[in-house]
Amino acid sequence: MTAFDLQRVRRDLHRIPELGFQEEKTQQYLLTKIQEMATDRVQVKTWRTGILVHIDGTSPTKRIGFRTDIDGLPILEDTGFDFSSTHVGKMHACGHDFHMTIALAALQRIIDRPVKDNVLFVFQPAEEGPGGAKPMIESKEFLDWKPDTIFALHIAPELPVGQVSSKPGLLFANTSELFIDFKGLGGHAAYPHLAKDMTVAASNFVVQLQQIVSRGLNPLDGSVITIGKMESGFVQNAIAETARLEGTIRTTEASSISIVKEKLEKLIKGFEIAYECKINVDYGSNYYQVVNAEKYVEQFKECLSSTDVEYIQASPAMTGEDFGDMLKIIPGFMFWLGVDSPYGLHHAKLAPKEEALAIGVEAVETFIRSFG
């Protein structure tokens, strides 16, 4: 693909963001592009709204996988682009339009100039939720073509164009969503003794929750519990009968997630007694840590030394990615791609520079060809 084609495809995809397992327009667009470049060496399978593309190698001894995510986020776009989302309330605010475009371009290059080994391109749905990686890798379609190694990329707004970043070992944290619902007894503001106030219960719960990390976990293990949203009540002169907390748990140790949940549930039992209420917890989507295999990170770093792409060492991040579920069973790695945006991931004004598309394609193709 030319630079112009990269831009056009990215903008086409940017216009049609869809939520997890609803990526029907996206799947159709991708399938159309894949069919345009397919040859008799290319086989295509679909899985739900995802796609698997297998390219036969010239003399294969292994299979190399590259995964891209394809879903968008429930965010109202505020970029002002003339190619802004046409799906109101949905946006590619995490760069998956970039990821897909790079995958398509790299796919075409591998088809046009065959490599020795088999290559599998994985277009995975529902990375943002509820998590498409785990059910996809358990599917017959994936297992038929299970790769020997797999890698992926993610845009990095804070890095300049031309730079990529990764590291051996832990790159992304273990994550769990957190939804907590409180049910008490509503009443008139003038008679608090006749009600069970869930605004007070939930407010105190948020404060106590923070002590799980500060006093319940090894301080050398990175952990964070964040409540990002709190709702209670409907009117200023009534006591709230219900309240809801929404947040996230993130840890650098896989075992810490279960410890946090165990202590949180004990805290819930105490609050139910103290505030005479019922509390339900839902952990939503849970993502396993992204742990990079040193062997492949070093191979990636080495193969880029002959290109204009600059490699730098990354630091671990508390971000989450369901690609961790793939790396749990298949050795590989993920890397950051610099896109130099003044706004960060999941921001309504995220504006990655399109010059980074060609850098991403070069990095992906170079690693695939590094196997010989």
Residues labelled catalytic: 69, 128
User: In this structure, what token pair is assigned to residue 191?
Assistant: 């008679």
**Cα separation of 321 and 336, whole Å?**
12
Taking Cα atoms as reference points, which of 149, 119, 122 lies closest to residue 41? 119
Please tell me what DSSP assigns to residue 58: S
Backbone phi and psi for residue 263, each to the nearest 5 degrees, phi listed first: -70, -35
Backbone phi and psi for residue 29, each to the nearest 5 degrees, phi listed first: -60, -45
The continuous run of DSSP H or E covering 66 comes out as: strand 63-69
Asked if 44 and 34 count as a contact pair (C-beta separation under 8 A), the reply is yes
Sequence letter at residue 140: K
Indicate the pairing of strand 50-55 with strand 118-124: antiparallel
Taking Cα atoms as reference points, which of 196, 362, 173 lies closest to residue 257? 173
HSE (CB half, 13 Å, CA atoms) of 49? 19
Which stretches does DSSP call E strand in 87-148? Answer: 118-124
Please tell me what DSSP assigns to residue 119: E
User: In this structure, what token pair is assigned to residue 350?
Assistant: 């995220």
Distance of CA 363 to the CA centre of its chain: 20
For the chain, the maximum distance between any two Cα atoms, rounded to a whole number of angstroms, is 81
